[in-house]
Amino acid sequence: MSPVRVRQHVNPLSRKYQQPIAIPDWSNIYPNLTQPLHLDIGCARGRFLFEYARIEPNWNFLGLEIREPLVDEANDWRDRTHLTNLHYLFCNVNISIKPILKSLPQNVLKRVSIQFPDPWFKKRHQKRRVVQPELVEDLAKYLVPGGEVFLQSDVEEVEVEMCDRFSEHPAFRRTCENWLPENPLPVSTEREIATHNKGEPVYRAIFKRVASETSE
């Protein structure tokens, strides 16, 4: 079956994406709710999480994506392979991240990835970018001490801005001053593979949740 066709970019500030979502009962999603959770923000078609969930059954994986047809396709694909530690959720992250995080069991969120987000190059559109101060604050509140945020992009300007947003928050500390030369995760995204095949650079960084800091 050919992949569903959708627009490459959608405007997260449009009225269509301002409505709250129905939060699922996580006990109906994951058989073992106590497993550590990896949250992938902007998971697109979900191939990265799918491959990761297959090789890491002792973690749960949750992908968030604003293009609903991609979420439906990814969950169908997951169901056909009977992966029980993986779920995809349609939402506008900048509207729904707080209720989603609040609904999860305490102390399970241990890793967050934001990979190749829409760059929104035009200055007037940059408020549409996913990593806003409010998102960083919410992640600081719910990510466990020692937990990680992995950021990568093939657009240096976008990666620098994401890193600046996390660096500005006292709950996060960057693990390496320079760009990471390799992806520390065992799975690469489709965009990452395509970028490397073209001989173009990928900019990466990891931020740790500092144990001694708490968010109000």
What Rg value do the Cα atoms of the chain yield, rounded?
A: 16
Q: Chain-centre distance of CA 36, in angstroms?
A: 15
**Torsion-angle region of residue 98: left (phi > 0), alpha (psi -120 to 50) or beta?**
alpha
Q: Does 118 qualify as catalytic in the annotation? A: yes
φ/ψ of residue 206, rounded to 5: -125, 135
Q: How many residues does the chain have?
A: 216
Could you list the beta-strand ranges (E) of 44-182. Answer: 60-65, 86-90, 109-115, 148-153, 172-174
- Which entry of 118, 138, 154, 164 is annotated as an active-site residue? 118
- Supply 59's token pair: 């973690």
First vs last Cα of the chain: how many Å apart? 48
Helices and strands: H and E segment counts in the chain:
6, 7
User: Read out DSSP for 118-162?
Assistant: ----SGGGGGGSS--HHHHHHHHHHSPTT-EEEEEES-HHHHHHH
Q: Residues with catalytic annotation? A: 118
